[in-house]
Amino acid sequence: MTNFSFAVLISGNGSNLQAMIDAIKGNQIYGKICCVLSNKEDANGLQRAQEVKIPTEVVSNKDFETREDFDTEMVRVLSIYNPDLVVLAGFMRILSPVFINAFPGKILNIHPSLLPKYPGLNTHERVLESSDNIHGITVHFVDESLDGGPICAQSSLEITTRSVKQLEQQIHKLEHELYPKVVSWFGEGLLRLTEGKVYFENRELKIGEINEK
């Protein structure tokens, strides 16, 4: 995809945003971040973007009575930048159909578990409370279900610690390696979502092919 550009939505520190900024600098993503949007004006990720002169926008969900009104404003703001892809990177709001339908097949999210296991919050605590030996991350296209959209890629590790903090750090490392790769695949036209199915290099991805692609 020539002139590939994508928007990144954040709510906090923006470590995955930084991984993408670094990947662009290192020519691992051939494209640019056209905008970083946050629902929180004090999100540290906004400063990361501003330091490398990426345009930033703040749309506070507190200013709107409904999710739909909030999402309508985000769509309006993002449409100014006309992104080819919207990347959720620690964006802590559930998107309504208003937003999802504005960018069909063009929204990616990363989740800190091997979906369909452990959707929602507190994944590291939950996996440590289980008998699981393996933990990991999932990148998926976003639909109207919570952490349930079509999966594009997963990466996993063996659990070797009982510390939530240490496990979180290990998972972040996986995220920073995998997420820029998936964004790059989309930008190069290798990855797409068609009629609810994920295709990589024009071949439908099957379960079992998505881990460590």
Q: Give the catalytic positions in this structure.
A: 111
- SS3 state at 87: strand
Cβ neighbour number for residue 56 with a 10 Å cutoff: 19
Tokens matching residue 129: 């409370």
Element (H, E) at 129: helix 123-129
Burial of 168 (0-12, 13-18, 19+ CB in 10 A): middle
Q: Could you tell me which of 178, 206, 6, 195 has the C-alpha nearest to residue 88?
A: 6
Cα(206)–Cα(198) distance, rounded to whole angstroms? 9
Tokens matching residue 103: 């960018």
Residue spans of alpha helices (H) in 60-134: 67-79, 97-100, 123-129
DSSP 8-state secondary structure symbol assigned to residue 100: H
Cβ neighbour number for residue 136 with a 10 Å cutoff: 26
**Which residues, including other chains, have CB under 8 Å from residue 95's CB and lie 6 or more apart?**
67, 71, 107, 142
